[in-house]
Copies of this chain bind each other. A is one copy, B any other.
Amino acid sequence: MSFIRINVKRQASNVKRKDNMKPKSIKVGILGCGTVGAGVVRCLLENNSHIERHIGARIEIKKISDLYPKIKRDVKIPSGLMTKNSDSVINDPEIDIIIELIGGTTISKKLIIDAMNNGKHVVTANKALLAVAGKELHKIARKNNVGLFYEASVAGGIPIIKALREGFTANKINSLFGIVNGTCNYIFCRMFESNLSFDRALEEAMEKGYAEADPTLDIEGIDSKHKIGIAASLAFGQWIPQKSIYVEGITKITDVDVKSAMEMGYKIKLLAIAKFEDEKIEVRVHPTLIPESSLLSSVNGVFNAVEVDGFPIGKTMFYGQGAGMHATASAVVADIVDIARNILHDSPQRLQTFSFGKKAIPVKKIADIETRYFIRCTVLDRPSVIAHISAELGKRNISISSVIQHEEKTEEDFSIIIFMTHTSRERDVQSAIKAITKLPEVKEKPAVIRVEA
């Protein structure tokens, strides 16, 4: 019985292809119609004839589910599409592609899995879900011979996912550096431009709608961690577990750090970093000094950028809007178009991306990474202090590239000394920091910011 059905289907598809009778429309169902959903609907309605011209078929919205069908949206939803019942969307036999824009990691996960098990292709913008369940979802997609696409999950206005899955396949990726959180980038830019404190810059970001009411996910680096997890997984061909990604937020960066960085020709950015070195992977998110002369340091405001260094391509950078209704909608619709092409050409699993089962490349612990360091010490102004701190660094093979001490003092009459190191090992630096903290002239645990050239 099952055998016969498969045969019939194949034949039908062959007939279609031989006679060049391609399907005239691809039908999509949308789960969740908030800001991004409205953007997707608008893009599909406005640009449909343009898309049809490129791919030779129409994209048709068949159903949209949302808990609040009647709220005011930035687009007029054509009548008859809205439903509260998401199951009716994923079970509609005519729908080819499901667009998941609900967010979260529970209901959305179940719906995506059910949809794929129903033979639907899936597009999702859900970075939190992919970061934790990407491997599982890819396996289910493969089992069902359907596509799983998620361009919008990392830096919407930047087609980095497609580049990593396709454009850079020929390359061995050495490193990815991403500014992938607009909120943090906006905060740092304001701290640099106008000497705002972190708190004031965050307040301003909230006033302008660039930060959520609860900005924790952004400023603690969790959002960036999700995104670099996905990007690094694609770059290195194995799904990187979130727990192996080191993360540090931006809340401890002070105006002294900003000023000192500027003096030394650096800016501070929340960088999401992935590297492949010595047959090991490292993935980390933390505030980072980068040279002012670098193109990444010119990425201002809420914009995102991802720099990829690979062989043979060399250094390349993508820049664009990371979030927002339109940039995200563009990414979602790009995925819809990609899947539509795969449907039209009967190649649903054109992108395999992962080779599960092969031996995984080990991921470094943060203690094992090597980079340069900016160390800010708050000290009593005694003649011996630089010598004592330098001695602790020297003992651990940490060599100093420059030192700055200003004449001005803190309110409590402490001095601030900044040490920049040459490339050192994290483990050694943390050990030195412990020892330096215990020195009698040192007021508190020194602040450490990693540096990337």
Contact = CB atoms under 8 A, between A and B. Distances in A.
- Give the bracket for the number of chain A residues in contact with chain B: 35 or more
B158 A316 contact: yes
B337 A166 contact: yes
Interface in A303-323: 310-321
A352 interface: yes
B159 A333 contact: no
Nearest to A50: B172
Contact of A313 (B169, B327, B349): B327
A306 B276 CA distance: 28
Nearest to A53: B355
A237 B338 CA distance: 17
Contacts of A159: 163, 167-168, 316
Given A14-B14, A327-B312, A330-B312, A162 B170 contact: no
Contact of A319 (B54, B166, B319): B319
Interface in A145-197: 151, 157-159, 162-163, 166-172
Interface stretch (A39-47, A221-229, A401-409): A39-47
A346 interface: yes
A169 B55 contact: yes
Contact of A54 (B47, B55, B237, B311): B237
B345 A349 contact: yes
A149 to B, nearest CB: 12
Nearest to A324: B314
Chain B CB within 10 Å, residue with most, of A151, A167, A352? A167
Contacts of A50: 172, 237
A353 interface: yes
A133 to B, nearest CB: 21
A175 to B, nearest CB: 14
A304 to B, nearest CB: 10
A391 interface: no
Interface in A234-292: 237
Interface in A326-381: 326-327, 329-331, 333-334, 336-338, 341-342, 345-347, 349-353, 355, 358
Nearest to A325: B312
A88 interface: no
Given A50-B172, A321-B316, A347 B352 contact: no
Contacts of A55: 169, 352
A417 interface: no
A56 interface: yes
A24 interface: no
Contacts of A56: 352, 355
A313 B348 CA distance: 26
A295 interface: yes
A330 B54 contact: no
Contacts of A166: 162, 334, 337-338, 341
A10 interface: yes
A352 B312 contact: no
A313 B326 CA distance: 6
A43 to B, nearest CB: 5
A299 interface: yes
B316 A169 contact: no
A72 interface: no
A54 B352 contact: yes
A298 interface: yes
Contacts of A51: 169-170
Contacts of A14: 10, 14
A18 interface: yes
A47 B330 contact: no
13 contacts: A10-B14, A42-B312, A53-B358, A158-B316, A162-B166, A166-B341, A170-B337, A171-B330, A313-B320, A316-B318, A318-B319, A319-B319, A346-B346
Closest 5 CB pairs of A and B: A345-B347, A316-B320, A170-B333, A312-B326, A159-B167
Given A39-B312, A312-B329, A347-B347, 8 more contacts: A14-B14, A159-B163, A295-B319, A312-B325, A312-B327, A318-B318, A345-B345, A345-B350
